[in-house]
Chains A and B, each alone.
Chain A
Amino acid sequence: DTGVSQDPRHKITKRGQNVTFRCDPISEHNRLYWYRQTLGQGPEFLTYFQNEAQLEKSRLLSDRFSAERPKGSFSTLEIQRTEQGDSAMYLCASSLLTGADEQYFGPGTRLTVT
């Protein structure tokens, strides 16, 4: 296990379609985070899991967004009825279960909604 992986790396979709992204964290990491990053901005927190429990969600996460982490391993982020404003880089990160710990990021999935 060499790091956090994300799939796909790029996704182009038409407005109104649903998309799903996958993140595989570092195997011994209990915490998994999803972020969104747009051009010229830093990563914006979307949600995080501790094992399989989703503990916190940003108000940025509208009802069209849903994330899961079955069995506390990989995670999926689904966006329903995509809008052009959803175009961004979606980053996943994982960390060990400590109060505050550095996160290890994946390469991201770049979503383009046309």
Chain B
Amino acid sequence: DQQVKQNSPSLSVQEGRISILNCDYTNSMFDYFLWYKKYPAEGPTFLISISSIKDKNEDGRFTVFLNKSAKHLSLHIVPSQPGDSAVYFCAASPGNQFYFGTGTSLTVIP
């Protein structure tokens, strides 16, 4: 059962514009959420996280929003840069175990 879902397998955005990646989850016990970026032939790299007690966390160009009532989180990248082109995974945890979505491949067009 897929407890974390990323329904958009791919996304293309013009350089300088906003990229919005979405993630939905089903388990109300999840209390910690993370976004990872993955380049080919490398392991995922941590980007940003958010605790369930917050609804927004910002780090430079990256902002994560959490809507607990909708069980939805999103990652905003502003402005998007060509180097942001990668696969983005969201992950959620109820404590010790992490559940990952299937990923969204972001392409930023110069």
B-binding residues in A (CB < 8 A):
4, 33, 35, 40-45, 48, 55-56, 58, 91, 93, 99-100, 102-108
Q: Is the CB of B43 within 8 A of A40?
A: no
Give the complex CA separation of A114 and B89 in angstroms: 29
Least Cβ distance of B54 to chain A in Å?
13
Q: Is B60 an interface residue (CB 8 A)?
A: no
Count CB-based A-B contacts (< 8 Å): 55
Q: Is the CB of A43 within 8 A of B89?
A: yes
A-binding residues in B (CB < 8 A):
4, 6, 31-32, 34, 36, 41-46, 49, 51, 89, 91, 93, 95-103
Least Cβ distance of A82 to chain B in Å?
22
Q: Is the CB of B44 within 8 A of A56?
A: no
Q: Kindly list chain B residues whose C-beta atoms are within 8 Å of the C-beta of A102.
A: 34, 46, 49
Q: Is the CB of B102 within 8 A of A42?
A: yes
Instruction: Give the interface centre of A45, A48, A55 by most chain B CB atoms within 10 Å.
Output: A45
Given A42-B89, A100-B93, A100-B95, 10 more A-B residue pairs with CB atoms under 8 Å apart are: A40-B102, A40-B103, A42-B101, A43-B44, A48-B97, A99-B32, A100-B51, A102-B49, A105-B36, A105-B43
